[in-house]
């Protein structure tokens, strides 16, 4: 697996014993789920917690959410059995576009079937069944992770006691879809894209880097960039912000796959807790567990008004504000404050 060196050696693999049926009706064979766990499952199997990661995250939650781990914190391995699994469609160990298609013996690439956030959650549920988890104390995640959390609330009301949705939505807005589509078009415009059939040693890095640059603009906020970079010009004559964005683009292409990026952003765009057919507000209204909605006051992607609506339409939801100049990515930056908000919800 091309990105194996980027995931920790503690990552384990769960092999699904049966084919996995997708929402689309297609079936995936030989599905594998990469996951990490911390702590011990108790005899009754009811002290478990599941962490859902964001777009380019991995199962190594202690690496990207470190300050939330530890005694008396959100993730306390002495208290709970904590599981984080890599999502379906990712390139960090779970079956996705870089996996070998058993039917052809070659990587799926762009032929990987269309997946949904619901598919991701149903696969997580299968993993937890395999691990003997009888009940989840809570499920938590930000961004794409928060979308999974809302699906968890909808799909498994008797299995999940509480949910924590951070900087997320019950369905993608046209603004979010627009930003995703522009990113995908940057990838498709790369001559190396080859309709997704690129060689492993010649991926569409220019397009993927441009996509990440666009994404980074949407993950941060005007005040954050102004404060950090202003109109500073570096010694090389470049605007510091331009250099920063290009660096972020290069950083992602070292660690992520373009087909995976396309598949996961398409899944985010398809996301709709009503399943795309029913009444969206009624679907939110049916999520009745005690819920924490964490809203980031500077989030451009899932803005304050949408977060207020989300909390308003879920009957048992509490809205808390993570105040930050850093925009959407604040849930990966202002982690001490986030831990306090979550602890306030878990231990009122």
Ligand X SMILES: CC(=O)SCCNC(=O)CCNC(=O)[C@H](O)C(C)(C)COP(=O)(O)OP(=O)(O)OC[C@H]1O[C@@H](n2cnc3c(N)ncnc32)[C@H](O)[C@@H]1OP(=O)(O)O
Ligand Y SMILES: N[C@@H](CCO)C(=O)O
Our answer to whether residue 172 is catalytic in this structure is no
Among 69, 81, 92, 345, binds ligand X (CB under 6 A): 92
> Least distance in Å: CB of 50 to ligand Y?
17
CA-CA distance, 6 to 184, in Å (whole number)? Answer: 24
56 binds ligand Y (CB under 6 A): yes
Q: Is 246 annotated as a binding residue?
A: no
Among 23, 39, 64, 184, binds ligand X (CB under 6 A): 64
Instruction: Decide whether 138 or 331 has the Cβ nearer to ligand Y.
Output: 331
What's the start-to-end Cα distance of the chain, in Å? 44
Task: Please give the residues from 303 up to 342 whose contact with ligand X meets the rule CB under 6 A.
Answer: 329, 332-333
Residue 61 near which of ligand Y, ligand X, none (CB within 5-8 Å, type-dependent): none
CA-CA distance, 32 to 209, in Å (whole number)? Answer: 28
299 binds ligand Y (CB under 6 A): no
Our answer to whether residue 299 is catalytic in this structure is yes
x/- mask, ligand Y, residues 214-233, rule CB under 6 A, reads: -----x--------------
7 binds ligand Y (CB under 6 A): no
User: Which single residue brings its beta carbon nearest to ligand Y?
Assistant: 143
Segment contacting ligand Y by CB under 6 A, of 168-176, 261-269, 281-289, 327-335 = 327-335
Q: Is the dihedral of CA 177, 124, 198, 203 positive or negative?
A: positive
Our answer to whether residue 328 is catalytic in this structure is yes
> Least distance in Å: CB of 55 to ligand Y?
4
Catalytic residue among 90, 99, 143, 218: 143
Residue 240 near which of ligand X, ligand Y, none (CB within 5-8 Å, type-dependent): ligand X
261 binds ligand Y (CB under 6 A): no
57 binds ligand Y (CB under 6 A): yes
Among 49, 55, 310, 341, binds ligand Y (CB under 6 A): 55
> Least distance in Å: CB of 3 to ligand X?
7
Residue 143 near which of ligand Y, ligand X, none (CB within 5-8 Å, type-dependent): ligand Y
> Least distance in Å: CB of 196 to ligand Y?
21
Can you give the chain as a three-state secondary structure string? CCCHHHCCCCCEEEECCCCEECCCCCEECCCEEEEEEECCCCCCCCCEEEEECCCCCCCCHHHHCHHHECCCCCECCCCCEEEEECCCCCCCCCCCCCCEECCCCEECHHHCCCCCHHHHHHHHHHHHHHCCCCCEEEEEEECHHHHHHHHHHHHCCCCEEEEEEECCCCECCHHHHHHHHHHHHHHHCCCCCHHHCCCCCCCCHHHHHHHHHHHHHHHCCHHHHHHHCCCCECCCCCEHHHHHHHHHHHHHHCCCCHHHHHHHHHHHHHCECCCCCCCHHHHHHCCCCCEEEEEECCCCCCCHHHHHHHHHHCCCEEEEEECCCCHHHHHHCCHHHHHHHHHHHHCC
Q: Count interface residues toward ligand Y (CB under 6 A).
A: 9
Burial status of residue 133 (CB atoms within 10 A of its CB: 0-12, 13-18, 19 or more): buried
> Least distance in Å: CB of 219 to ligand X?
7
Q: State the residues that interact with ligand X by CB under 6 A.
A: 6-7, 54, 56-58, 63-64, 92, 240, 243-244, 247-248, 255, 329, 332-333
Q: Known catalytic residues? A: 143, 299, 328
Q: State the residues that interact with ligand Y by CB under 6 A.
A: 54-57, 143, 219, 328-329, 332
Annotation: binding site for substrate: 212, 329
């Amino acid at each position: 697996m091309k990105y194996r060196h980027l995931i920790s050696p503690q990552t384990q693999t769960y092999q699904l014993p049966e084919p996995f049926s997708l929402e689309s009706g297609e079936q995936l064979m030989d599905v594998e789920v990469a996951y990490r766990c911390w702590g011990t499952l108790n005899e009754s199997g009811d002290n478990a917690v599941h962490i859902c990661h964001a777009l380019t995250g991995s199962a190594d939650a202690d690496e990207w959410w470190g300050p939330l781990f530890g005694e008396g914190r959100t993730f306390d391995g002495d208290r709970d059995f904590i599981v984080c699994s890599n999502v379906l469609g990712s390139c960090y160990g779970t079956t996705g576009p870089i996996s070998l298609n058993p039917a052809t013996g070659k990587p799926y690439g762009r032929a990987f079937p269309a997946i949904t956030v619901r598919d991701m959650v149903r696969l997580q549920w299968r993993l937890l069944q395999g691990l003997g988890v009888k009940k989840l104390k809570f499920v938590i995640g930000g961004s794409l992770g928060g979308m999974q959390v809302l699906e968890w609330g909808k799909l498994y009301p008797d299995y999940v006691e509480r949910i924590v949705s951070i900087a997320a939505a019950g369905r993608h807005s046209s603004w979010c879809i627009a930003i995703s589509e522009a990113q995908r078009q940057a990838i498709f415009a790369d001559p190396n894209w080859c309709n997704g059939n690129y060689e492993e040693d010649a991926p569409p890095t220019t397009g993927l880097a441009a996509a990440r640059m666009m994404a980074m603009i949407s993950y941060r906020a005007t005040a954050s960039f102004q404060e950090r970079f202003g109109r500073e010009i570096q010694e090389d004559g470049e605007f510091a912000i331009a250099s920063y964005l290009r660096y972020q683009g290069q950083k992602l292409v070292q660690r992520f796959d373009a087909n995976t990026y396309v598949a996961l952003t398409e899944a985010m765009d398809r996301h709709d807790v009503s399943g795309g057919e029913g009444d969206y507000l009624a679907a939110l209204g049916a999520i009745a567990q005690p819920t924490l909605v964490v809203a980031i006051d500077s989030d451009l992607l899932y803005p304050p008004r949408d977060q207020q609506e989300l909390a308003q339409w879920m009957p048992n939801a509490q809205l808390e504000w993570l105040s930050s100049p850093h925009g959407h990515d604040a849930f990966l930056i202002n982690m001490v404050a986030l831990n306090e908000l979550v602890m306030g919800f878990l231990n009122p």
